[in-house]
Structure 1
Amino acid sequence: MLSVLLVGCLVASALGKPLVSKRWKDFEVKHAWHDVPAGWQFHDIAPEDHILNLRIALKQDRFDDLVTALYEVSDPAHEKYGQHLSKEEVEALVAPHPSSVDLIDAWLSDHGVDPFSVQRLNGGSWLNLEVTVGQASQMLNCSYNIYQHTGTSEYIIRTTSYSLPSLLHPHINMVAPTTYFSSMRSMRATSFVQPHIKPIEDDHDFAASLVGAGSLATVPSSCATTITPSCLRALYNTSTYVPKATATNKLGIAGYLGEFANNADLQVMLVLDSRGRKTHVFGNLQTFFEKFRTDAVGTTFQTVEVNGGGDDQSDPGVEANLDIQYAEGMSFPTPNIYYSTGGSPPFIPDDNTPTNTNEPYLNWLDFILNQTVVPQTFTTSYGDDEQTVPVDYATTVCGLFAQLGARGSSIMFSSGDDGVGAGDCLTNDGTNRTQFQPNFPASCPFVTTVGATTRVNPEVGIDFSGGGFSNYFGQPSYQATAVSTFLGRLHGVNTSLFNSAGRAYPDVSAQGQGFQVVFNGSTISVGGTSASSPTFAGVISLLNDFRISQGRRPLGFLNPILYTAGVAGFNDITSGSNPGCNTNGFSAGPGWDPVTGLGTPDFGKLQALIG
């Protein structure tokens, strides 16, 4: 009985419900899981009067034209390179066809939803509406239940299967919340504390020696164990560049999980004597800048709360502080914006107060795409196994990143910390096959995915660096040559375990171990591709600063130029591997590889090549 309840469709009673036209009763499944997703268990039937904030993604009438425009403005060989689209131009391309709007409005009306009450975003391609669980169940011919996460005890309301009337399938890309179970609490932040790496007090001596262009030869051996902004600035050749376009250029950090970037850990308060000299620095014990980038002392950052994201300074998070400290540490004095994104509070059984159970990615993308001006560079350090994300959801969200890229933003994502996959890597489609497990959004072809390295003189790929091939997204043309070369030297090893025709990642890499992070006033060592992504984003932010200061457009979507003109601007990483799924995974080698991508950046070379 329970299994039928979990996967079966709900035949709603017509009592008290609108009379629904027969044309809306010819259902076809839109997405269904074979089993309840791993890590979740059935708790109870969702109350019919619980309010859902339902989001409907309509088919975008000219999405192919948007992708064409994205590649045109991102291709240095194209006459439109750098001519990024405005918010209004993007929205015109993603707007639904009027016939789709009319049809869906008729469907909503038949289910008792006033089309005039619906919030329409992103050129009308996204509909936000409030409905009861009972209404949503009838509209989508499904059963909403309360599920509990076994690791966090969080409750959410989801369904294991949903359908749409056959007539609507060509007009609707996705409905949420439905079958995407990953709340941000269960979603992995791609970082972890490394207590075995003894933290250092400061690196003032090394920082003072950063004169002339940084190079591998000038990086002290200590950077092989503990990483500071000085290590990174020397390794990646940014130490002599001083940003000039700080009135225009900005770097954005997308934050989730209810984590907050703590000002007490990042910024300091100065006390000056009568001559204006600094006499004391107060903060939460020592601060990050005072220890590791003294020229930035006094700098703060902007926090933007998205959908109730909050900014609780008494409850800082390791991930959030890692992100902001190293994004700022690399890009100073470029203004940084931390987006504290809510949207997924736990559902509390027996609580009749409506709660928003949507996915925060959608909340953040709704917000950022609705802004007229957006930062030129973004970094995000979260991800899920691709197979746990419904394909309709992943495809729709990936398309939203394409919109952001078309508007001139460079978007970095960490590649994940499980190599080619954690655990036994069994598929969740009922076949229980062993398969490498790519990460999403790392696998989206419209973002730049950052893997991890370690050591110096030379750097090597680190074993946890996420990398592989998507099972959802095909291989984009910009990387076809580089990936073909890699596959040619693989000689068939493990080829049955991954989709060699899929989008390959990471695209690039940066250091990912032993980052010195100030947390609650103390320095701790942190690792993960969560460290790599803000580091690489900091380098890109400096390149954008240089371009803007020269009267040019920002880089925007990076991958087409990185795989062509930018290749020579990377330190090629030729050793290291990323084991997982009870295999040795992939190995780094000459050129692109699915451990370190094209390699780590050399700012000076990139500045000459693509700046």
Structure 2
Amino acid sequence: MDVSHPDSPNYGKHWTPAHVAATFRPSDDAVAAVRGWLVESGLAPERVRLGTGAAWVQADVSVAQAEALLGTEYFLYQFGDDEDFTHVACHEKYHLPAGVAPHVELVTPTLHFDVKPKRSAPKVEKIERRSGASSNASAKAVGQPGFGTSFPKTSGVLNTIWSELEDCDEQIVPDCLRALYTFDYIPIATDKNSIAIVEYTPQAYVASDLDLFFSNFSPSQVGERPNLVSIDGGYSQTDYGGFDFNGEANLDIQYAMALVGNEQSVTLYQTGDMVEGASFNNLLDALDASYCTFEGGDDPDYDATYPDPYGGGYEGPEDCGTVTPAYIMSTSYGYTEVDLTPAYEQRQCAEYAKLGLMGMTVLYSSGDYGVAGNYDLCLTPDGYESYDGTIFDPSFPSTCPYVTAVGATQVNPGSSVYEPESACETVIYSGGGFSNVFPMPDYQRAAVENYLTAYPPPYPAGTYNTSGSRAYPDLSANGANYVIAVQGEFYLVYGTSCASPVTAAILSAVNDARLAIGKGPIGFINPVIYTPLFMGAFNDITNGSNPGCGTNGFSAEPGWDPVTGVGTPNFARLLGLWLGLP
């Protein structure tokens, strides 16, 4: 808040990565307590080393020494009948001295069986979920076709393409978005600015589709490509094609590049290989070296492990702090909160706060199922997902208070781009609601309480979290009837997947204008956009709702609402306000 709230004297004074790492690593007292205990227990000082980021202390000990240090007994465990696949772990419990235990979150190897059997030949498959079954080990499957809350939907191939503004109620093209959001800007600080789109293998853009799209909607950009940054072996694979494998990436890249224009380059963070895949944590490791070991590091049960421990995948070193964070980052993928553990989500959410401290604006699509979760599943009273569930099922990372969640709107049938939009109710519904994990941040409290008081949702207790939790989305943009090119044909596409890269392009222009006059990037924008001044600069959406779980969901109303947030961007008004901030 100190660097992100417009009333703070330190607004815009973002931290360096070194400052962030120093702030969040264990204290010197914690490191000294652990090292001192090990040395006093008889280990030579050179056998006790501090790892990268100062989060881990590594000690080289024999099994007998480990048993003495931890007051436990170790065994060699075997996986089934495979005598070659074994794992060292201790039995039932281990102990730490009273003065050491408060400083230690995890000792390994101890109780954790964080290894998996060797797998068969690599293959790509769709992820399916049965009613009542939670895929809570699927974080690294985020790139699989159809997976997640925000994978784009299509009504099929288009036979005719229109590009006139009067047709925007049936087909959205870049000029429609420019008109909707008064977005007319030519970048002038392109060497200082940066914008990134995130994709997860096997999702991949197709170069020929990019040129097909540009030839119709931005001819000067034919031949342009995003700057590919490979993370953990990520690449634009060509083994699998079609909408399921190219739709998401083509959508994101085509619209982000067309809207920023040929003056501003767009970076593609292609994350994960074809075998191991990747999770959001794998991406975050590459952006911030301190995250690789933050709070004990990633969870091998949820996140991809590199080098690939089984062979067949990327065997290079894990990307840890190898990528310079862009000022704007858009991700059109998501989970539901119930997919993952609260501890996993809280650790990741803290990292989004760290990126905000460094000046990054992190955008996530809010989801395409209204108040329901993936595939229209909702929660049962015992916390499981089911088609018979009646409790709203919020998404993640949209509910993290340190990301900006982007919902979806639509141009109403028969309406023009100069008339008010409504919440998206064509093919998809804008994801929105209230978190079951994160408390409500102060920056949105007044706006959310105004909604709940003026327009109380007509649902019985227990339908959604009413305890004062993080509400989402934060803002929105059009998410219906997008024209995209896929494998040489044009498709009509729907989703909050459309809204996030569009919002990223618009906010990137704000950064460009600020950088051009010597100011910094806008960074974490939520504390700004919830102020009355900035809320008034968005196009307020007051029609539509986001059904799910056998209900009409929430309704779009004047002011903030859990369907479209504070509204859609009016670039001309927002630019003036952001240029007025320090």
Give the structure-2-normalised TM-score: 0.73
Instruction: State the partner residue of 1:14.
Output: none
Would you say 1:453 and 2:409 are equivalent positions? yes
Q: Provide the rounded CA distance (Å) in 1 between the counterparts of 2:51 and 2:335.
A: 28
Residue by residue over 1:340-396, the C-alpha shift from the partner in whole angstroms, topping out at 9 and shown as x without a partner, is: 1116835xxxxxxxxxx8x52221111112257421100001111102211111000
Show CA shifts across 1:515-559 (max 9, x none): 111111211111111111001111101111111112111100010
User: Is 1:585–2:569 an aligned residue pair?
Assistant: no
Query: How do residues 462-611 of structure 1 correspond to structure 2 at under 5 angstroms?
Result: 462-463=424-425, 464-491=429-456, 493-494=458-459, 495-500=461-466, 501-564=468-531, 565-611=533-579
Quote the residue 2:307 is aligned against.
Answer: none
Write the distance in 1 (CA, Å) between the matches of 2:175 and 2:237.
29
Partner residue in 2 for 1:368: 287
Query: What's 2:105 paired with?
Result: 172
**Residues of 2 paired with 1:237 and 1:362: CA distance?**
35
Q: What secondary structure does 2:536 align onto?
A: helix
Work out the CA distance in 1 between the residues paired with 2:93 and 2:352: 26
Q: Structure 1 residues 163, 515: CA separation in 2 closer, same or farther (over 3 Å shift)?
A: farther
1-side partners of 2:49 and 2:151: how far apart?
39
Q: For residue 331 of structure 1, what is the aligned residue in structure 2?
A: 260
Q: For residue 318 of structure 1, what is the aligned residue in structure 2?
A: 247
| Superposition CA RMSD, Å | 3.7
For 2:106 and 2:159, how far apart are their aligned partners in 1?
A: 48
CA contact (8 A) 1:200 1:516 kept: no
State the alpha-carbon separation in 1 of the partners of residues 557 and 239 from structure 2: 45
Q: Which runs of 5 or more structure 2 residues have no equivalent in the other structure?
A: 60-65, 67-71, 81-86, 116-134, 289-320, 413-418
C-alpha deviation, 1:423, in angstroms = 2.7
Distance 1:104 1:409 in 2: 34
| Equivalent of 1:293 in 200, 218, 222 | 218
TM-fit CA distance, 1:507? 0.2
Residues 261 and 79 of structure 1: CA distance in aligned 2, closer, same or farther (over 3 Å): same
User: What does the per-residue CA deviation read over 1:269-297, in whole Å, with 9 as the maximum and x for residues that have no partner?
Assistant: xxxxxxxxxxxxxxxxxx11111112322
CA spacing shift, 1:478–1:291, aligned 2, 3 Å: same
**Partner residue of 2:394?**
438
Task: Output one character per residue of 1:308-327: Cα deviation in whole Å (capped at 9) or x when no partner.
Answer: 11222454521111111111
Aligned pair 1:97/2:27, yes or no?
yes
Provide the residue aligned with 2:295 in structure 1: none
**Residue aligning to 1:79:** 9
Q: CA deviation at 1:128?
A: 11
1:342 aligns with 2:286: no
How many angstroms apart in 2 are the aligned matches of 1:576 and 1:108?
Answer: 62
Instruction: Tell me, in whole angstroms, the C-alpha distance in 1 between the residues paired with 2:249 and 2:502.
Output: 14
Q: Note the C-alpha offset of 1:193.
A: 3.5
Shift of 1:262: 2.1
Q: Which residue of 1 aligns with 2:311?
A: none
List gaps (5 residues or longer) in structure 1: 1-70, 130-134, 147-156, 207-218, 268-286, 347-356
**Counterpart amino acid of 2:486?**
F
Say whether residues 1:181 and 2:137 are aligned partners. Answer: yes
SS at the partner of 2:228?
Answer: strand
**Which residue is 1:304 aligned to?**
229
Residue type at the aligned position of 1:459: E
Q: Which amino acid aligns with 2:496?
A: T
* Contact 1:140 1:164 (C-alpha < 8 Å) held by counterparts: no
One-letter code aligned to 2:22: A
The alpha carbon displacement at 1:584 in A equals 1.2
CA deviations over 1:542-591 (Å, ceiling 9, x no partner): 11111111211110001011111321221000011111111111010100
State the distance in 2 between where 1:321 and 1:566 align. Answer: 32
Q: In the alignment, what sits opposite 1:395?
A: 346
Report if aligned partners of 2:157, 2:490 keep a CA contact under 8 Å in 1: no
Contact 1:184 1:256 in 2 (8 A): no
Matches of 1:294 and 1:189 in 2, distance apart? 33
Over 3 Å counting, the alpha-carbon distance change for 1:198 and 1:385 in structure 2 is same
The answer to whether 1:237 aligns with 2:167 is no
Distance 2:189 2:410 in 1: 32
Partners of 1:304 and 1:507 lie apart in 2 by 28
Q: How many residues align?
A: 474
Contact 1:174–1:392 under 8 Å retained in 2 = no
Report the AA paired with residue 584 of structure 1. Answer: N
**How far did residue 259 of structure 1 move?**
1.3
Judge conservation of contact 1:189–1:530 (CA < 8 Å) in 2: no
Distance 1:242 1:405 in 2: 26
Q: Among residues 384, 395, 402, which one is paired with 2:335 in the alignment?
A: 384
Identity of aligned residues (%): 34
What do residues 456-498 of structure 1 show as CA deviations (whole Å, max 9, x unaligned)? 5221102411001111111001100100001002335225311
Q: Deviations over 1:496-519 (max 9, x none)?
A: 311231100000000111111111
- What amino acid is aligned across from residue 296 of structure 1 in structure 2? Q
